[in-house]
Structure 1
Amino acid sequence: MSIFSSILNRIFPQDHPANSGSGATVAPAAPPSATPASAPAATITPSTVAAEGSQPTAVPIPTVDVEGVLTKMQEGNGEQLNWRTSIVDLLKLLGLDSSLSARKELATELHYTGNTEDSASMNIWLHEEVMQKLAENGGKVPDDLKN
């Protein structure tokens, strides 16, 4: 299991779509091309419009109050952790490995392009990216936690 999936599993309820394995969006997939470049353009008729309109609509992802969940976890934790700005403390609060090697692995997983030897810069980026990814997966994350 990826580190980011472990983060999702600790914050989101087990029945949340983000925990289904396919719900986590670490890297967005490129949308499939509707028609190959060499194919002729499709003709739109009233019947094709009606058929397209009858496709099922996407079910919205239930929202999880990330700040609320983490605040409640902090209240039950004897150690005072600064999870709002520190990726190390966030991982500790979630009961996950916060070692440098684990953070480097998470950076690779989330496609960090900076120097992983500059752990301060990497840590700042990781915290912002994790919060952004939580929001993308149905988490309600205040703007001040995303940047």
Structure 2
Amino acid sequence: MSIFGKIKDAIFGKAKAKPAPQPTQTAQRPAQPQAQGQQPSAMPQMTPAAGAPAAQQQPVDVDEVLADLATDKGGDFNYKSSIVDLMKLLDLDSSLANRKELAEELGYTGARDGSAEMNIWLHKAVMKKLEANGGKVSADLRD
């Protein structure tokens, strides 16, 4: 699995591990009398509740997942701007070798030497790619 895939799975998997809110049940409408000579329907008709949202997958709130992880771990993680701390927070290997591999995956064209420039670029690119894959990422994490 790719390094970005591991990052995405770690964040999106934590979001899915939270219990989803249960849908509310709506009262059933009373049965309508049938007109004489009509056959009852074999399948009951289902009508959506008024104002019920369509069944869509909500975007994963990346900020919330990362903040919850940081709180749970109690460490001093600078995950909002540091790719190394982000990877450590997610229990991923943040070694230079892995960051070089991530840089290659994401198309970094500069020197893959672990410089601040490379690491800042990686963090921004990871956040953009998380957003492109269904994550809700605040400007605080993107910039």
**How is 1:60-75 mapped onto 2 (pairs within 5 angstroms)?**
62-75=58-71
Q: What is the aligned residue count?
A: 105
Distance 1:118 1:135 in 2: 24
Q: Partner residue of 1:9?
A: 9
Q: Residue 83 of structure 2 contacts residue 123 of structure 2 at CA under 8 Å; is this kept in 1?
A: yes
Q: Partner residue of 2:113?
A: 117
1:88-118: CA deviation from partner (whole Å, max 9, x where unpaired): 0000000000011110110001110111125
**How is 1:43-58 mapped onto 2 (pairs within 5 angstroms)?**
none
Larger Rg over CA atoms? 2
In structure 2, give the amino acid aligned to 1:2.
S
Query: Runs of 5+ in structure 2 lacking a partner?
Result: 17-54
Question: TM-score normalized by structure 1?
Answer: 0.66
**How is 1:123-134 mapped onto 2 (pairs within 5 angstroms)?**
123-134=119-130
**How is 1:87-126 mapped onto 2 (pairs within 5 angstroms)?**
87-117=83-113, 119-126=115-122
Farther-moved stretch of structure 1 (6-15 vs 127-136): 6-15
1:20-48: CA deviation from partner (whole Å, max 9, x where unpaired): xxxxxxxxxxxxxxxxxxxxxxxxxxxxx
In structure 2, give the amino acid aligned to 1:136.
A
SS at match of 2:13: coil
Q: Residue 99 of structure 2 contacts residue 114 of structure 2 at CA under 8 Å; is this kept in 1?
A: no
Distance 1:110 1:104 in 2: 10
Distance 2:9 2:57 in 1: 15
Q: For 2:131, which of 128, 135, 144 is the aligned residue?
A: 135
Q: Partner residue of 2:35?
A: none
Question: TM-score normalized by structure 2?
Answer: 0.68
SS at match of 1:76: helix
Distance 2:119 2:60 in 1: 24
Q: Residue 59 of structure 2 contacts residue 136 of structure 2 at CA under 8 Å; is this kept in 1?
A: yes
Q: Partner residue of 1:81?
A: 77
- CA deviation after TM superposition for structure 1 residue 15, in Å: 9.7
Q: Partner residue of 1:19?
A: none
Distance 1:72 1:108, change over 3 A: same
- CA deviation after TM superposition for structure 1 residue 60, in Å: 5.9
1:47-74: CA deviation from partner (whole Å, max 9, x where unpaired): xxxxxxxxxxxx9653000000000000
